[in-house]
Amino acid sequence: MADIAGPAPRVIAGPRRGLLAPWAAFTAKTLLSVCVTLFGLAALTFFIGRLLPIDPVIAVLGDNATQDAYNNMARQLGLDKPLWYQFGVYIKGILSLDLGQALTTGKPVIEDIARVFPATLELASVAIIIGTGLGIPAGVLAAMYRNSWIDHTIRFIGLLGYSAPNFWLGLMGLVLFYAALGWVGGPGRLDFIYEFDIVPVTGFYLIDTAMAGKWDVFRNVFGHIILPASILGFGALAYISRMTRSFMIEQLCQEYIVAARVKGLSWQRTVWGHAFRNIAVQVVTVVALSYAFLLEGAVLTETVFAWPGFGRYLTNALLAGDMNAVVGCALLIGVIFVGLNLFCDLLYRIFDPRTR
């Protein structure tokens, strides 16, 4: 009699190591890459700061300092030590969030950055909202109606955004909208009479005044920020619209677009419901990089509008030869770019299966 085989034993599946292993390897590789990048950035900023023809001792004491005073200050600043020792002290300070003492203000650099950075962050945030809110629809429309008058108009506006210097646009904007028409506020974050009406909580004056319910101060703050934010956002709009247009043109040439049209989908639904979804992650990357450029590229705009932000602080530090502040600001800019690039890489792996 033939053996009758019983039911096969039930195998309980273990953890899905096949899926976890690539993510663990990606995480470890990413962390190692970030650490190496940040270390290289710290080394680069440190040695560039030491190679620049600016003497921090002279910046503190002035040109008429005696030799004894010069030597004493050099010892206090640690400049009499070997360069490798100074770099080790610098790395140790970074790990403990100590970027040294600002020579211009006499305060720790990290405190100065924490004080001025919210102003730049608020300005750049409003600017990127303007640039993204107008740039993405403009880029999509330019691709939808390629080589039409709509496309040519949007591309011409983008060309202006690339070509016109921010400081010139700022000066012309102040002359027209502030001095002549009185539609916006002048330089600074708000009028002097409202300086003591704000209790800083987040450092964002728009949010702080709205939370406190002081709408008259809110309107004053908005009147001051809208012009410099629009000028910065104009440059971001030019870049975002151009890249969005390029991405959309590539997608609109794909076969699935033709198939969607054959099935009877409207042109708008095909573009926004199918083509735009396939470029969404790429557009997010462009927006993130534009945001980073706004955070570190607002120097001229902040100077023209007397905006008490990060860019103006960096400019004053450069003019005064305050290398501790300059190196600390350069390090922060690098960290911002590394962080946003890492964020974009994570988005790609999450939303684009081809990268996994």
Domain segments of the chain as ranges: 28-95, 112-355
Considering the domain 112-355, what is its CATH architecture? Orthogonal Bundle (1.10)
Query: Across the strands, what pairs with 108?
Result: 101
Please check whether residue 240 is in contact with residue 290, taking contact to mean a CB–CB distance below 8 angstroms.
yes
What is the DSSP track for 76-100?
HTTTTS-HHHHHHHHHHHHHTT---
Q: Give the whole-angstrom CA distance, residue 164 versus residue 187.
A: 20
Amino acid 131: pLDDT: 92
Amino acid 167: pLDDT: 82
Amino acid 276: pLDDT: 85
Q: Which of 26-30, 129-133, 280-284, 294-298 has the highest mean pLDDT?
A: 129-133
**What mean pLDDT comes out for the span 328-349?**
81
Q: Which of 161-165, 236-240, 339-343, 344-348 has the highest mean pLDDT?
A: 236-240
Task: Please state the pTM of the whole predicted model.
Answer: 0.80
Q: Decide: helix, strand or coil at residue 128.
A: helix
Sign (positive or negative) of CA dihedral 169, 170, 172, 173 = positive
Q: Decide: helix, strand or coil at residue 55.
A: coil
pLDDT higher than 50, residue 14: no
Amino acid 62: pLDDT: 67
**What mean pLDDT comes out for the span 201-222?**
87
* Pairwise pLDDT comparison (86 vs 25), residue with the higher score: 86
- pLDDT-above-70 percentage for the chain: 88
Place 2 in a pLDDT band, splitting at 50, 70 and 90: very low
Sign (positive or negative) of CA dihedral 153, 156, 162, 165 = negative
